[in-house]
Amino acid sequence: MAAARPTGSASGALCWQLLLTLAILTFACDACKTVTLHVPSKLDAVKYIGRVNLKECFKSANLIHSSDPDFQILEDGSVYTTNAILLSSAKRSFTILLSNTETQEEKKILVLLEQQTKVLRKRRSQEKVLIRAKRRWAPIPCSVSENSLGPFPLFLQQIQSDTAQNYTIYYSISGPGVDKEPLNLFYVERDTGNLFCTRPVDREMYPSFELVAFATTKDGYTPEYPLTLLIRIEDENDNFPIFTETTYIFNVTENCRVGTTVGQVCATDKDEPDTLHTRLMYSIIEQLPASPTLFFMQPATGVITTTSSRLDREVTDKYQLKIKVQDMDGQYFGLQTTATCIINIGDVNDNLPTFNRLSYEVSVEENRVDVEILRVAVTDKDLINTANWRANYTILKGNENGNFKIVTDPKTNEGVLCVVKPLNYEEKQEMTLQISVVNEAPNFASSRSTGSMATVTVRVKNQDEGPECRPAVQIVRIKENVPVSTKDIGYKAHDPETNSSSGIRYEKLSDPEGWVSVDENSGSITILRSLDREAKTIRNGIYNITILASDEGKRTCTGTLGIILEDVNDNGPFIPERTVIMCKTVMSSAEIVAVDPDEPTHGPPFDFSLEGVSDSEVLRMWRLTKMNDTAARLSYLNDPQFGRYTVPVRVADRLGQSLVTQLDVMLCDCVTRSDCKIPSPLRTAKGLMLGKWAVLAILLGIALLFCVLFTLVCGATGAAKKPKVFPDDLAQQNLIVSNTEAPGDDKVYSTNGFTTHTAGGFTQGICSTPGSGVKNGGQETIEMVKGGQTIESCQEAGHHHTLGSCKGGGQHTLDSCRGGQVEADNCRYAYSDWYTYTQPRLEGPAV
C-alpha cells in the first residue's frame, strides 16, 4: 500500500484540479528535475503557488528565466504568478533556466526548453506506470497553501495499501486536525483513501500537521502498520512587517562626521523565517525639512547614519523622518509598514560669545568700594542655559592693583563690573580696562580661543576727603631709660587735597601703660612715666599707641604709633626654676639655667656663684660648676641629710649686672623626681623650722581633741537630764557582782556616764540613785559606762587592779538604768591608770 497522486482516470471530482509541471534546467548542465504543484484553476496576479529547491541544481545563479511569462521564479525558489491566470483542465508545464552569465543565445535555449518539456511529459507518463508497479505503504510528503481559496474540501493526496488487492480495506486517520485541535480540518474517504482539507489554514498558528493513517479489513484485521503522514502548510505572505515602535527618537550632535550612527530601527514579520516573506528592507521615505538630505538608512539593518557634516543646531534643531519597512526583499509587491523617526540635534560650542559693544565708558567716585559700575552684554547662539552658552568674563589689562572685579550674572549672562578696592583720584583720574569673554565649555573649533574683547574706560570722580593716616603704622625709637618729659616727633597725618599736615588735630585713643601724652596740634609725644621694655604690654620690643587724626570738617582717620624701646641693661639674670629636686640615691647634682630679660647684647655669658661668706654652711654643703653660657651644675658636698635647703645663687651678665635667686633644693630618697616627698621642715644654716605640713598636723590634732571633749560633755549633760529608775526586781535573771547573797551598799549602778568617787565622801553618779556613792579607802576611783555596759574597778585584798589586772572572773550581768541587761567586767581601775591610758589618745599623735 502507498500514497498515490491522482491520475487522468481519477474521479470526476478532480476535473478542476490542474497539475502544473516545472522542468528545471541548468544551463551547461545535464541535471534537471520535474516538480508538480497542485493549484486552483484561477490564480490572481502576484500569487504565491509554491517553491522549488534550486540549490540542488545549481549553487549560485545570476540569471533565472522562466519559459512561461505568466510565472516568476525568485532567488529562493518561490514561484509567483505575474498575471491573473485562468487555467484549463490540462496540465501546464514550463521550464526554468538557471545561468550565471547572460548570453545572446538565450532565445535559442528557450526554444530547446520547450522541446524538452514535451519529452519530460512523455517520460512522466512512463514514470507513472513504473510508480504504480512499485507502490508501497509508505508516507509521501504533502503540503497545503496557507489561506487557500479552495474549493473545499480540497483534495490533497490518496493513501493506498497493496493489501487492497486481496482484502477490502477501510482507511482512517487521527491526530491534530482530525480528532485534536483544530478539529475536523482533515478527513479521509474510508473506501478510496483520498485525503481532503476542509478549510483554510493559518501557518502562523499551525505550521505543519502530523497525521497517522490506518488500513483495516472489514473484520477489524490490520494488515499494515500505521502510516505517519506529514502535511506542511506552505507560507503565504499574509503578515505585514511591524516596527517595534511607532515613533523613534534619536539624538546626534551638530557638526558630527559623515557616517556617524544616529540610531537603528527594527521590525518583525510573523511569516516563515528565512524566506522572502520575512526578508525585510528598510528605507527613508521622507525627510522634514526636506533639504538638504542629511541621513541614510542601511536597507538590511535599519541603521541610520549621517551623510553630511553640515548639521547645524542653530539652523535646524530637529529633523523628522518617515521610514518604511517592506518584506519580499523590498520588491514592489511586498507588504510594507511605515513609522516616524525624530532626530534631535545636540548642541556643541561652535559659536563664540561676542560683546554687543566694543567700548564702554563709566565713572565712579573715589573711595567707593563694593559697588557695581557697569553691565556688559554678549550674544551667543548656542543652547541657552548650558555650558556652551554661559559666559566667563576676564579683565586682561588695567587691573594690576586689583581695584576691579567682573563676574557673570547667572540669570542674564551679563558681565557685572564692580569696584572692590577704593580708587584714589589724587593718584589716577582715569583707568582703561580690557575685558574678554569665553564660554564655560571649550570651543568646538579651538580650545585656545581668547574670545571676544571690549574696552572699558573708568573715570574717577574727586570728592572732599578727610585726613589720611598713611602709613597706618609709624615707628619711633626711644631708649627705655629716657627721663620723664622727653619729647619725640610722634605721629603725622596729612590732607590728600593739600598734601600737608596743617589743620589736623590729634588725639590719643589707646595707651595701655599711660606712658605718653600726644600734642593736639603737632601729634608729637611726651614721656609721662618711666618706660620699661620688659613690661607685659610690649610685643617684640614695640609699644603701640593708637592715634585719632581729624580735620576741621570732623573727618577722621586712625593710625598706630609704634614705639621701639631700645634696650638698656637694667635687669639682672635670674633662675626661673627656683625649686631644684635631687634624688640622692641616683644623682649628686642638678642643672640650673638662668635667663636675662634684656637684649642679647646685655645678656650671656652668665657668671654663677654661691651667695654667702667664706665660712658659711652654704659653701660647705654646695658647689657650683659652670656648664655653658647660660647654665651651671649645682652639686652637694659632705653627704647632707634628706630634707629641704635654701641655696642663694648669684647670676651676673656680661656687663656685671647681677641678681640673687634663692633656690629651694630638695634632697629626697627617691628614684624619679616625681616621687620626691619631704615631710621634714625646711633646713637652713641656722637650724630647724617647722614645715607647713607639720603645722597642719598639729592643728588637726587640736581640732580632733576638741571634738572628743565636746562629745563627752554633751553626752554627760544629756544623761543628767534623763535620770533612770531601776526596777524593783533588779536581780531577776541577772548575776549580781557581789561577795554576799545581796547587793552591798557599796555598789553603784551607772549606765550612761562617768561616776566619780572621792575619798571621805560620796559623789552622786549621773544615772545613780541619791546617796549611792562608794568609799575606797580614800582612793579616788572612776567608773566608765559605754553603750549600756558598766566597767567597774574591782578591789581585792586591799589593793586596786590595774587596767590589765582583771582576773577571776567571769562576766556578771547587771540591769541597766533602762531595765535591760548589760554585761560588764568586774574590774575596777585607779584614776591615775585611766588617765595615763586615755590622755595620749585624746591629744592625738605627737607632732
Indicate the domain borders of the chain. 32-115, 142-234, 242-346, 355-461, 473-566, 579-668
Candidates 2.40.30.20, 2.60.40.60, 3.30.70.270, 3.30.360.10; CATH matching 142-234: 2.60.40.60
> Could you tell me the pLDDT band of residue 816, with boundaries at 50, 70 and 90?
very low
pTM passes above 0.85: no
Quick one: DSSP state of residue 292?
S
Nearest to 652 by CA among 601, 592, 609: 609
Long-range CB pairs of 396-404 (<8 Å, 24+ gap) are: 396/434, 396/435, 396/436, 396/453, 397/432, 397/433, 397/434, 398/431, 398/432, 398/433, 398/434, 399/433, 403/431, 404/433, 404/458
Residue among 614, 620, 612 at smallest CA distance from 637: 620
Level-2 CATH architecture, domain 242-346? Sandwich (2.60)
Residue 30, pLDDT score? 39
Check if the beta carbon of residue 350 is closer than 8 Å to that of residue 444.
yes
Whether 32-115 shares its CATH topology with 355-461 is answered: yes
The larger pLDDT score, comparing residue 232 to residue 749, is at 232
Q: What is the pLDDT of residues 720-740, one digit of tens each?
A: 555 444 444 444 444 444 444
Q: C-alpha angle with apex 337: 332 to 343, nearest 5 degrees?
A: 115
Q: Work out the pLDDT band at 344, boundaries 50, 70, 90.
A: very high
- The pLDDT confidence band at residue 358, using thresholds 50, 70 and 90, is very high
pLDDT at 746 exceeding the cut of 60: no
Would you state the pLDDT for residue 449?
60
193-243 pLDDT tens trace: 999 999 999 999 999 999 999 999 988 888 888 999 999 999 999 999 999
Least confidently predicted of 272-276, 306-310, 760-764: 760-764
For residue 823, pLDDT beyond 90 = no
Q: How do strand 452-461 and strand 359-365 relate by DSSP bridges?
A: parallel
Query: Which pLDDT score, from 0 to 100, does residue 531 have?
Result: 80
Write out the three cell numbers for 600.
642679647
> Which pLDDT band holds residue 834 (cuts at 50, 70, 90)?
low
Q: For 163, phi and psi rounded to 5 degrees? A: -75, -5
For residues 515-542, average pLDDT: 83
Q: Which residues contact 261 (CB under 8 A, 6 or more apart)?
A: 303, 304, 305
When pLDDT is cut at 50, 70 and 90, the band that residue 718 belongs to is low
Q: Which of 122-126, 600-604, 833-837 has the lowest mean pLDDT?
A: 122-126
Architecture of domain 32-115: Sandwich (2.60)
Between CA 628 and CA 516 the distance in angstroms is 41
DSSP annotation of 512 reads T
Q: What is the CATH number of domain 355-461?
A: 2.60.40.60
pLDDT for position 673 = 82
Share of the chain above pLDDT 70, in %: 69
Mean pLDDT (whole number) for 502-511: 87
For the chain, the average pLDDT equals 75
312: CB partners within 8 A, 6+ apart: 254, 255, 345
Query: Band of the pLDDT at 779, cuts 50, 70, 90?
Result: very low
Lowest-confidence range among 62-76, 161-175, 474-488? 62-76
Q: Are strands 318-326 and 821-825 parallel, antiparallel or unpaired?
A: unpaired
Look at residue 189 and tell me whether its pLDDT is greater than 90: yes
Q: What is the pLDDT of residue 20?
A: 53
Cα(244)–Cα(729) distance, integer angstroms: 124
Architecture of domain 473-566: Sandwich (2.60)
**Residue percentage of the chain with pLDDT more than 90:** 30
Question: What is the DSSP pairing of strand 658-668 with strand 579-583?
Answer: parallel
Report, as an integer, the average pLDDT of 4-25: 39
Cα separation of 433 and 511, whole Å? 45
Cα 183 vs. chain centroid, distance in angstroms? 67
For 579-668, the fitting CATH number among 3.60.15.10, 3.40.50.720, 2.60.40.60, 2.60.40.350 is: 2.60.40.60
User: What pLDDT is recorded for position 799?
Assistant: 38
Higher pLDDT, 96 or 827: 96
Please, which pLDDT band fits residue 795 given cuts at 50, 70 and 90?
very low
Q: CB 603: neighbour CB atoms within 10 A?
A: 22
Q: What is the pLDDT of residue 40?
A: 74
3-state secondary structure 143-179: EEECCCCCCCCEEEEEEECHHHHCCCCEEEEECECCC
